[in-house]
Amino acid sequence: MTPAGQAFTLRTEGLQGRDYGRLWVPLVGRHQLVNAATAVVAAEVLAADGRALPADAVRRGLERLEWPGRVEVVRRRPDVVVDVAHNPASMGALRDALLELWPARRVVLVVGMVDGHDADATVELIAPLASVAVATEPRHVRPIPARDLAALVRRHVRQVEVQPDRAAAVARGVALTGPDDLLVVTGSFYLVGEARRWLTRPEAAPLPVAAT
| Side chain identity at residue 48, one-letter code | A
Q: Estimate the crossing angle of helix 119-126 against helix 146-153, to 10 degrees.
A: 50
pLDDT score of 15:
60
pLDDT score of 159:
97
pLDDT score of 127:
98
pLDDT score of 205:
53
The top-level CATH class assigned to 72-200 is alpha beta
Domain borders along the chain are: 6-63, 72-200
Measured CA angle at 146 (ends 143, 148), to 5 deg: 95
**Helix (H, G, I), strand (E, B), or coil: what is residue 107?**
strand
pLDDT score of 179:
94
Give yes or no for a contact between 54 and 62, defined as CB atoms under 8 angstroms apart: no
CA-nearest of 43, 68, 42 to 53 is: 43
Can you give the pLDDT of all 212 residues of the chain as single tens digits? 888 888 999 988 866 678 888 999 988 888 889 989 999 988 888 887 777 788 888 999 999 988 889 999 999 889 999 999 999 999 999 999 999 999 999 999 999 999 988 999 999 999 999 999 999 999 999 999 999 999 999 999 999 999 999 999 999 999 999 999 999 999 999 999 999 999 987 664 555 554 44
Whole-model pTM? 0.84
**114 CB burial (10 A radius; 0-12, 13-18, 19+):** buried
d(CA 199, CA 209): 13
